[in-house]
Amino acid sequence: MSEQITCTECGAGNAPGSKFCNNCGTRLPLSTHTICPNCETPNPRNRIYCDNCGARLVEEHILPEEKPEEEETYKPSSANLSFFSLPTRKPGDTGELAPGLPEGMEAEKLEALDSAVQDDLPKVEELTGQGPTADLPDWLVESNAEPIIKPPEAITTEHYFDLLKRSIEEETGEEATDEDIAATAASLPEWLAAAGVTPPTPAEEIDEPQTSDTVEIPDWISLPGDDKPDESEPDEADEDDLQDWLAELGPPATDILASPLGGQGDDADQEEDHLADWLAELGPPNTNILSQPSDADAAANLPAADLPEDRSDWLTDLAPPDTGPLAESDAATPTADVDDVDEAEEADNWLASLTTPDTGPLAEADVTDDSEATIISQTPFDEDEGGWLTELDTPDTDSLLDLRSDLEETLISRPEDLPGSDWLDDAAPAEPGAEEPESDWLATPLFADEAAPEEMADEAETEDTAVDLAQWFTDDELADVDAGEPEAAFDSTSDSLLARLSDFVAEDADIEPVESPTAADEDGVDWLADEEPEQPVDTDTAVPAELPDWLSDLGPGQETDDFAALNQLAGGDDALPDWFDEASGETDSDSGYSPEADLFLTGLLQSDKVDDASLDWLTAEEKSTAPELAESEEAEAAQPELVSAEAEEPLSEEDPAWLTSLFTTALDETPEISEPAAATEPESEEAEFEEAELDALFVEAGIEAEMEDTAVTVEMSPDTPSEPDELAHAPVLAEADDDDTWFSQTLTETDQPLPDWIEQLGAAATDEISSETELVPSDELPDWVADMRPELSSEAGSLLPRASTEDDALLADIPDELVGVELPEWLQDVGVGGDEVEIPAEAGDVTGWIESESRLAELLALDEEDAGSGSDWGAVLGELPPSAPVEERLAEAELPEWIEALKPRELTTEGPESEAEPEPEESGPLVGVRGVVEIAPIISMPRAMTVPKAFVVTKEQQQQASLLKQLSLAQPTPVIAPGQTATKTAPVLRLILVLLLAGAIISGLLGPDWLATSLPTASPAIEQLHTAVQAAAGQPVLVAFEYTPARAGELSPQAELLVQALADNGSQIVTISQAATGTALAATLTEGQNRVEMGLLPGEAVGLRQLGSCLDTTCTSIFGRNLTGEQQQALADIGLIILLTGDQDSLVNWVEQVGAVSGVPVAASITQALQPAALPYFASGQLEGMLAGLTDTAVYRQTYLDAPSEQIMDLLNAQGSAQMVAAILLLLGALIYSISATRKKDKA
Amino acid sequence: MRIRRGLLPVAIAISVGLLTLAALLVPLPEISDLILGWVGFLATIALILGVLNLFAVHTSRLIKGNLYSLVLVLSMALMFALAITDSDLVGLTDNALTTAFNWALVPLESALASLLAFFLLFSGFQLFKRQRNVWSLLFLLTAVLMLMSNVFTMSGRLPQNISAFFISLRANIQAIVVTAGMRGILIGVALGTITLSIRLLTGIDRPYNHE
């Protein structure tokens, strides 16, 4: 039976299949029946199995089997649609759309289930008491947040110009010159031209942009080399107008190296939020080694607001002392307020002093150099970026250098073609006398006529990439200088730079040490204000007032940016651009050490042109990391003076802290030196050593004379060991063929006591270089750990972070059990810094190393117990609550197979299932859209007709059929009640009854009249009958004999009585009857009387009707039979009708059809059984009298005639006897059966 | 135009019925006599046809060896023959048909009617064997009371008052209970007759047509 659909609104029941409620019209839910696919029986939709046949109604969703790769093609109608297609139903199925999954398999439930399963699994922390990666080095764990290596995604301008050059050469067949390239590039769009790659423009056009609005040019592009310094468009608008690729090149790009430093603190925090807890607990990724030395720099570069509040302690410890002041004075510094026009102007000044504001000449000279200069000037200042620089710059240093060499040749050959530029003049120090010596070292590699570029080329060839970097850097300056007045510009530039460096070095003496950040906060502003470079500022070349954030951070006077710039040059920051790392990838290690930076320093120190001012500038740049530095233009303009004034002041002991960080940041990029943050108060010996080394450096570079001022500065800061070290190491770096061994060589050469921080570095860095000093040999480490160990000579390895001493200690703590143990694949990916952290496919996979760790913990706990006070391990493990064995707990955590089967392929070792790209839609509104689900037919297809099975009759069925036939044809047998003997009792009882009744009748007839001794008096009916008979005296009386011989025994006596009475009254008896036998009886009973026989009257009521009509009038015929004259006369004179009948119909017809029509009185002589039917007619007067039964006959005879005859009395006696016996038998029978039934009940 | 089959009998039945009804309501003896003459004629023909059909059926059964059919066929033939011999045309016998009727038919019908008393007594005796309920008890008491009252009314051996009580009790039962019952039955029959007449006149019931 189908169930009704109950309306949800009114609750009314509706027929199955109804769509709307019959009562309220509300749409009913879909059909509640699911057609069984097996027997087609409709089942309620909540059924899983068919009610009829038990077949499953809901399809089981089994994960598709793995298909071979060659079969993994897109099949829109089958496999691929199973995941994305709409639910379908079978043809003819009116049930609800089949759910894609069983209820228990829905996504939410699965998630809940997964979470429940995960909850059931023991947590790693519970098992080990530590984080799941506690045994891993921090740098390995923390590398999860961001990938270490980001491939460049944008084509650099070098590529572009290379293409231009090639295209020109193909067209002209000649070697393309820079002019040709510039001319071709002149067709560049404005935005590209504004990016610093604009072709050379006429001089008059150069001036115009200075006052024009460079709305379309992003600040970060136009600012460093743009010739439109008066750009005033808001940076927001500029950023909005950025092209995509420019936007990618811009500040928003991220760098993994910068992320832990706070530059992307917010992002990092957000990313950490998305990380698992255990991953988040691991701290910043992959930066423990690399970032520690650079954190200080990065933190110094960061606005305080950007610094992550929850940064790790190591980061806080490594933060430079000036970070606090920076944070406090953040709002007041131009770093934080990018919209400040003054600050922008300061940035302009700063840019004027640091780099070239005039891009046009640079572009004319060498767009490549210009871009590089832009990079150099931008990179250090943008702590939020780094990656964009990677994208911007080409990793191919060779091509860059080649192009630079070409340009260099061009510049050397035609220096006059370069447009002039005043920026170098603007950046020049106030003392014109310092120009000559300052610019020598920079000019050396740039000018062929002065410094013999051949030598530079030779150096580039012999000194490998390190020399190339130095050349490259100098090429920036070269380009700038070439653009205008080469010599003067370069002199001024170098002077400016060196002067600022000197200033910063000199001012470092006032900086608070690292260990006292609070003091630094207090004193930071002072020394910052004091050390502001006092360089003349050319307001004409000022950059636009409104700068983007990142560029504002680069603004002049922001010593943090300057510091970052220098830091960037030193290559010791995490924010170091990747291109910078990649450029040195061949020679550097994993820490991102930039040999270019070293070479830059090398070149800087080797340059004959380097003077004190240059070193001061460099020092000032380093020192500019202090955020407390004032940003006033006056301070910047007065920088040379300030440097000179403060040059004599010795550096304080605390001052070198940040500088130490700075320097060690530079060194940090080399794997050998990565822990400078721990540098404390250096000893005087170390200062001397550093000074000596610096001297040696300058001696080797041939710039001893020029470095005197710097040396003085160094001497004035005997407590700043890092700065001399840095400078001292620079030539070593330059000379070292293998950058990885330079430090060790240096140590060997110097053979002097090293400061603590260097010793610390030595333990961590130098040991990593040489395999023999590794804490854990690579061959003993697991492969994944060994793989993560930076490759000393590989480019990728150069970008990998280096393990610090702490990490090495961690590695050293790795038990032997873990050595060589394969980590799960997902963890390996984590360690490498993959983009995705995969969840362990199986719990068992996770347990490998955890189990080892837990075992180790147990062992350590035991050791601790034995030793009393154990190590940290013991302390940690001692706090752990006792727990069940790990093996047991992990065993419980095994996932069921079905859950494993549900796990996405991406999380399994099988890897994601490759899906072929679906074909796009070719027609319809979804043209071009891929993966369109096929349209299901609206009308369900007709059900396939199934051929009925052939009817096969088995032998068993045939036997059953024959048996059924026999039973159906068999004679019915009487049903005999249980316990009855019907066949025996019934005939006997029947015979007994017959005998008793017959005996009573016979005894009554033949026996004495013992019963009928007296007769009752005549009843009114009898009296009225007698009256009627008397009233009809002398008239013909129609006597109807309407009874058969069967009633003759009761009615014949009455007939005889009435005939006698009529005869006594002299009435003629007219006999008539509608029964054949009645006529015979009439003839018999009226024989000898005055009678008229009317014979048989057929036609029932119709005949009687016709007879009645004839009684009123004279009829010649009745019912087609002609009447004789006597008959007609008799009928016409009939005075009474006496009806002798025992039949009710006859009584009714005579009364209603004859008596009522003719009006002749009717009297009835009936049987006693018919008396009840005659009484109503008698009561109504339709019967004049009535005589019923033998009793009335005897009474009538006794009352109105003579005494009843003996025959009547015998009949009455026999009748009475029979009636008494019958009554007794009825009572007896009722009593017997009642008792028997009661007994049966009692027995039951 | 072809008259639909079955429509003619219906039309004849309705028209004749309406005519008969009109003859009863309106004093038109000629029409009523004519209609009654047709009815008599048809009834006689039907009786003859019935006798012939009965003779033919049992003759066929006589051929198959059915002895009861032989008795029936012989009795029919004998009575038909006696009627012919008693007729004035033949005059071979005198009142032979009445003699045969009185000696054969009357005892047979009386004997057959007397069997009803035995059947009723046997059924009444086993009344409580099958159904033991109130209605059975009521039937039993009524039957016993009516039987015994007849006995007591004829018997002078009982006290007069007791006999009078039973006589009055019997009279009241017949006058009230039995008469009321019979009147109800008669009224029901009358209503049924009217309804059937209307249905016949309107052609709703067509017993003459088996379609």
A166: number of Cβ within 10 Å = 11
Q: What is the pLDDT of residue A119?
A: 60
- Would you say A334 and A366 are in contact if contact means Cβ atoms under 8 Å apart? no
CB contact under 8 A, B126 and A1215: no
- Which residues on chain A are in Cβ contact (under 8 Å) with B41? 1120
Mutate to test the interface with B, among A1224, A1233, A1239 (most CBs of B within 10 A): A1233
Nearest Cα of chain B lies from the Cα of A1223 at a distance, in angstroms, of 5
What pLDDT does B158 receive? 75
Beta-carbon count within 10 A of B201 CB:
17
Question: Do B183 and A1176 count as a contact with CB atoms less than 8 A apart?
Answer: yes
Contact present, A849 and A823 (Cβ < 8 Å):
yes
Report how far apart, in Å, the C-alpha atoms of A512 and of each of A561, A1053, A1220 are. 19, 160, 147
- Pairing mode, strands A1121-1122 and A1117-1118: antiparallel
Exposure string of B17-38, with b = 16+ CB inside 10 Å and e = fewer, is: beebeebeeeeeeeebbebbbe
User: In the numeric block, which tokens belong to residue B14?
Assistant: 């309705």
pLDDT along chain A (1244 residues), means of 10: 70 78 79 74 77 78 48 43 50 50 49 57 58 59 52 60 78 75 63 48 43 44 42 43 47 41 42 47 43 42 43 47 41 41 45 43 41 41 43 46 53 47 44 42 42 45 45 45 45 53 50 42 44 44 46 46 46 46 44 47 48 48 46 46 44 48 47 42 50 53 45 42 43 44 47 55 48 50 61 44 52 58 58 46 47 59 55 69 66 74 71 68 82 74 73 87 87 65 72 86 81 78 90 89 84 88 88 85 84 83 82 76 82 89 89 86 90 86 89 86 78 86 89 88 84
Residue B69 pLDDT: 92
Ramachandran class of A708: left when φ > 0, alpha when ψ lies in -120 to 50, beta otherwise: alpha
Dist CA B125 CA A1229 (whole Å): 4
Q: Is B150's CB within 8 Å of A1219's CB?
A: yes
Contact between B33 and A1173 using a beta-carbon 8 Å cutoff? no
pLDDT value for B166: 81
The confidence score (pLDDT) of residue A891 equals 58
Highest mean pLDDT among A467-471, A1148-1152, B111-115, B163-167: A1148-1152
Q: Which residue of A has its CA nearest to B185?
A: A1173
Are A1194 and A1204 a contacting pair, CB within 8 Å? yes
Query: pLDDT tens across A213-241, in order?
Result: 444 444 444 444 444 444 444 444 444 44
Of how many residues is chain A composed?
1244
Top-confidence residue, B127 or A454: B127
User: Domain extents for chain B?
Assistant: 113-211
- Residue A1165, pLDDT score: 92
Q: How far apart are CA A222 and CA A245, in angstroms?
A: 15
**Nearest residue, CB atoms, A1229 vs list B113, B128, B155:** B128
Contacts of B99 in chain A (CB under 8 A): none
User: What are the C-alpha distances in Å from A869 to residues A809, A813, A1183?
Assistant: 20, 18, 138
B192 has pLDDT over 90: yes
Which amino acid is located at A936 in the chain?
Answer: A
Please list, in sequence order, all residues whose beta carbon lies within 8 angstroms of the beta carbon of residue A795, skipping any fewer than 6 positions away: A395, A582, A585, A586
Q: How many CB atoms lie within 10 A of CB A25?
A: 11
B132 vs A: CB within 8 A: yes
pLDDT score at A1138 = 92
Would you give the end-to-end CA distance of chain B in angstroms? 21
- CA angle (A293 as vertex; A287, A294 as ends), nearest 5: 75
Contact between A1215 and A1167 (Cβ < 8 Å): no
Length of chain B, please?
Answer: 211
Residue A1171: its H or E element:
helix A1171-1180
Q: Tell me which residue of A701, A684, A557, A683 sits closest to A623, measured CA to CA.
A: A557
Q: Confidence class of residue B1 from pLDDT cuts 50, 70 and 90?
A: low
Q: Which carries the bigger pLDDT value, residue B46 or residue A243?
A: B46
Predicted pLDDT of residue A1097: 84
- In whole angstroms, what is the distance from residue A201 CA to residue A185 CA? 11
Given a contact cutoff of 8 angstroms between Cβ atoms, the answer to whether A379 and A389 are in contact is yes
**Per-residue model confidence (pLDDT) at position A270:** 45
Determine phi and psi for A123, rounding to 5 degrees. -80, 150
Residues in contact with A1065: Cβ distance below 8 Å, sequence separation at least 6, in sequence order: A1029, A1030, A1032, A1033, A1034
SS3 A1244: coil
Per-residue CA distances from A1117 to A298, A1090, A1099, B36, B40 (Å) = 147, 22, 14, 11, 12
CB contact under 8 A, A1013 and B157: yes
Distance CA(A625)–CA(A181), nearest Å, equals: 39
On whether any CB of chain A is under 8 Å from the CB of B129, the answer is yes
Map A866-925 to HEC letters: HHCCCCHHHHHHHCCCCCCCHHHHHHHCCCCHHHHHHCCHHHCCCCCCCCCCCCECCCCC
Which ranges constitute the DSSP H helices of A173-242?
Answer: 178-185, 190-192, 203-211, 219-225, 235-240
pLDDT of residue A131: 55
| Residue keyed to tokens 């740039």 | A446
pLDDT category of residue B70 using cuts at 50, 70 and 90 = very high
The whole-angstrom distance between B20's CA and the closest CA on chain A is 11
* Residue A403 pLDDT: 53
- Kindly list the residues from chain B whose CB atom is less than 8 angstroms away from the CB atom of residue A1014: 154-156
Query: Cα–Cα distance between A333 and A303 in angstroms, integer?
Result: 9
Ramachandran assignment for B6, one of left (phi > 0), alpha (psi -120 to 50 degrees), beta (any other): left
